[in-house]
Amino acid sequence: METGVRLALLLFVGVIGLSIGQAAEIGPASKLDRKVAAECAGSYGLDKNHIIDIGPMDEMGGDLVFLDSQTLREGHLHQVAESEFVAGPTLGVDEPVTIRITFLRDRQNQIDALRWDGAGIRNAIAKRIAPHKTESVEVRNGDVVLRGELLVPATSARHPAIVLAHGSGPATRHAGVWNVFFVRLGMAVLSLDKRGAGESTGNWRAASMDDLASDWLAGVTFLKSRSDIDPKRIGVHGSSQGGWTAPLMAARSSDVAFMIVRAGSGTNIADTILHEIEWSAREKGLPESEISEGMAAARVAMTMMVRGASTDEYDAAMKPYRSRDSWPDNFPLIDERPRGQNWIRLNAAYDSVDSVRKIHVPILLFLADNDHNVPTAISAPRLRQAFDDAGNHDATLIVLKNAAHGFLSTPTGNNKDFAKQSHFAPGYWDTMEQWL
């Protein structure tokens, strides 16, 4: 029974909209109460080397997701009783139940442990670890008000901190396990609703990469003002689209002390969009001759939008292509709405490599070899050359094997296979933990 497929596909769907500002909206509202989700979120230790991280993820409808640090299993948790949650065998398949988690409360009625049943472990108790406080915060960047949450370890020291630079679309503070993963490493974590998403003001659809980078940099400035944060140890983790904005941040401000990028393209935005379209067409099984012809039309459309062609001029040039069977769906640049045209005009020329060449702080950058959204084969050598051009000897690039855009293990990277995925590819979580 694949009742979770639609929600799951919202996580890492590789359609063109993820790049150009036409992304699918966040999934249907979760039935899970926000207060319950906040109570359950955290890290739980089955033993010192076996951690279960749990957090709400709005891209999964606000439901809880978990990460098993030992097996790298990621699961979508469904509430079946007040304190009981279950997961199926993969992110998109809910039955049969393979994981059962029951949250346990102490005498003060606070969740202090969970009971884990699944993956070869029966009825094991995992105690809550990495205590921290979570604050609702507000950050201003000009007229834009960004609201979100700050997680701070429950110790008296001044903490290193990390700002989460989210991916495309209306991303929010509820980023799944990333928030609690970083806080259990002893870091403060600032996760803001993207402008125009969640409780933040503004409009992400009309934003440039510069606009978004300045939003996240406002978060860095906010962290510097706090007495519990070490101002010299504030970094950024950029995911997907955040792989364009994080380098802008680090190139622009000496306040960014380190940068981690997950699945960020090393080409300009125009070429990344064209890569997405071509991969999707090939995944659909279109004949190579049609792909070649359709991509030629898509490149013409891209060139027209980048140079600022009027909507009338663009429509006239694209009209012959739109009459061809399924072409507007298979090669969406030929039928782009004015809003999308404006976004491309604003952003298509931006290339992260231009920023990486100016960065001298430590960099840890991950790519996936089967990435529907990012042209990894082109990106990797360009980014490595940018490290050399900058003279940055503390820059590392890792290409994860058999990994899709979201770093889940897959031999294909195709969107249609997302529902079958259940584990992260090795080398991301453990490398980050060691590096930090």
So where are the chain's domains? 5-129, 132-268+349-435, 269-347
Residue 296 confidence (pLDDT): 95
Residue 27 confidence (pLDDT): 40
Q: Sorting pLDDT into bands at 50, 70 and 90, what band is 10?
A: very low
What is the 3-class SS of the chain, one letter each residue?
CCCCHHHHHHHHCCCCHHHHCCCCCCCCCCCCCHHHHHHHCEEEEEECCEEEEEEEEHHHCCCEEEEECCCCEEEECEEEECCEEEECCECCECCCCCEEEEEEECCCCCEEEEEEEECCEEEEEEEEECCEEEEEEEEEECCEEEEEEEEEECCCCCEEEEEEECCCCCCCCCECCHHHHHHHCCCEEEEECCCCCCCCCCCHHHCCHHHHHHHHHHHHHHHHCCCCEEEEEEEEEEECCHHHHHHHHHHHCCCCCCEEEECCCCCEHHHHHHHHHHHHHHHCCCCHHHHHHHHHHHHHHHHHHHCCCCHHHHHHHHHHHHCCCCHHHHCHHHHCCHHHHHHHHHHCCCEHHHHHCCCCCCEEEEEECCCCCCCHHHHHHHHHHHHHHHCCCCEEEEEECCECCCCEECCCCCHHHHHHCCEECCCCHHHHHHHC
The mean pLDDT value for 184-195 works out to 98
Q: Sorting pLDDT into bands at 50, 70 and 90, what band is 297?
A: very high
Residue 360 confidence (pLDDT): 98
The mean pLDDT value for 108-123 works out to 95
- pLDDT (tens digit per residue) in 347-374: 999 999 999 999 999 999 999 999 999 9
Residue 30 confidence (pLDDT): 52
Who wins on pLDDT, 103 or 3? 103
The mean pLDDT value for 100-114 works out to 97
pTM of the model: 0.91
pLDDT at 415 over 90: no
Residue 57 confidence (pLDDT): 94
pLDDT at 43 over 50: yes
CATH number of 132-268+349-435: 3.40.50.1820
pLDDT at 252 over 60: yes
Q: Sorting pLDDT into bands at 50, 70 and 90, what band is 4?
A: very low
Residue 336 confidence (pLDDT): 84
Q: Sorting pLDDT into bands at 50, 70 and 90, what band is 256?
A: very high
Residue 24 confidence (pLDDT): 36
Residue 338 confidence (pLDDT): 78
Residue 18 confidence (pLDDT): 40
Distances (CA, A) of 271 to 109, 246, 293: 53, 19, 17
- pLDDT (tens digit per residue) in 56-102: 999 888 999 999 999 999 999 999 999 999 999 998 899 999 999 99
What rounded mean pLDDT belongs to the chain?
91
Tokens of 389: 């051009």
The mean pLDDT value for 104-118 works out to 96
Domain 5-129 = CATH 2.40.128.50: yes
